[in-house]
Amino acid sequence: MAKESSRIVRMLQDAAALVEEAGLPAELRSAAFGKAFDMLTGATAALEASSPVGTGAPVDQGDLLGRIATRLKVERDLIDDTYEVDDDGNLSLSIAKSRLEAGKAGATKQIATLLAAGRQAAGIETSTPNSIVRAAVEAYGRYDSPNFSATVKELDDILSFPGSGRDWQVKVRKASFGEVGTLLRAIHGRAKR
């Protein structure tokens, strides 16, 4: 019972996130929420239409990596080579260090973009705290303390940075998820098909 209720709560949250992301006027939100929830709870045709590129299989809405593949419009194997989900459902980067740019600034930008896009595409959050990005950059050995904030904020064409002071966050612009998919293909040495 608890597992089923948890699944329903997750679907309600997913539906709410979809409506929020769409930026609809207030008078359309209720109807849109109902349609989004219906889609998430079993409209097989709708799920098949949102399949990750190249798989032809429906996306299980509890499958974080499948959601990322769908949102970034990339093949699932690229996502599997880039992200991992632990037993507690925490998403992290697993991309090989050798695939990232050698310089600290370039790698920091790639890590920030991929991590924020993955977490947001999976529906974990709508914006990613800079502390999470910083920890990932540190884990990859590319952290440059005096330049971290300025380096990440150079990505203002695809990212926005809500918050202020030490509490700023990283948010992928709605129109930029496709660009992140292109970046991911380039990092893995694949041209768009």
Q: Across-strand partners of 83?
A: 93
Strand order from edge to edge, sheet including 159-160:
128-129, 169-172, 159-160
52 falls in which pLDDT band (50, 70, 90)? very low
Give the contacts of 133 (CB within 8 A, at least 6 positions apart): 111, 112, 115, 116, 152, 170
Identify the pLDDT of residue 183.
Answer: 94
Give the contacts of 115 (CB within 8 A, at least 6 positions apart): 92, 93, 128, 132, 133, 136
Helix (H/G/I), strand (E/B), else coil: 3? helix
Identify the pLDDT of residue 89.
Answer: 84
Do the bridges between strand 159-160 and strand 91-93 make them parallel or antiparallel, or are there none, so unpaired? Answer: unpaired
192 falls in which pLDDT band (50, 70, 90)? low
Q: Which of 68-77, 85-94, 152-161 has the lowest average pLDDT?
A: 85-94
Q: Is the pLDDT of residue 41 over 90?
A: no
- The tens digit of pLDDT for each residue in 87-99 reads 888 899 999 999 9
Identify the pLDDT of residue 171.
Answer: 97
Q: What are the helix (H) ranges across the chain?
A: 2-22, 26-40, 44-49, 64-72, 76-80, 104-121, 130-139, 148-153, 177-187
Q: Is the pLDDT of residue 1 over 80?
A: no
Q: What is the dihedral of CA 180, 186, 192, 193, to 10 degrees?
A: -130
16 falls in which pLDDT band (50, 70, 90)? confident
pTM (two decimals): 0.68
Residue 56: alpha-carbon gap to chain centroid: 21
Rounded percentage of the chain residues whose pLDDT exceeds 70: 75
Identify the pLDDT of residue 188.
Answer: 92
Q: Which two tokens stand for residue 135?
A: 């920890």
Which helix (H) or strand (E) covers residue 128, if one does?
strand 128-129
Compute the average pLDDT of residues 14-18: 75
Q: Is the pLDDT of residue 24 over 70?
A: no
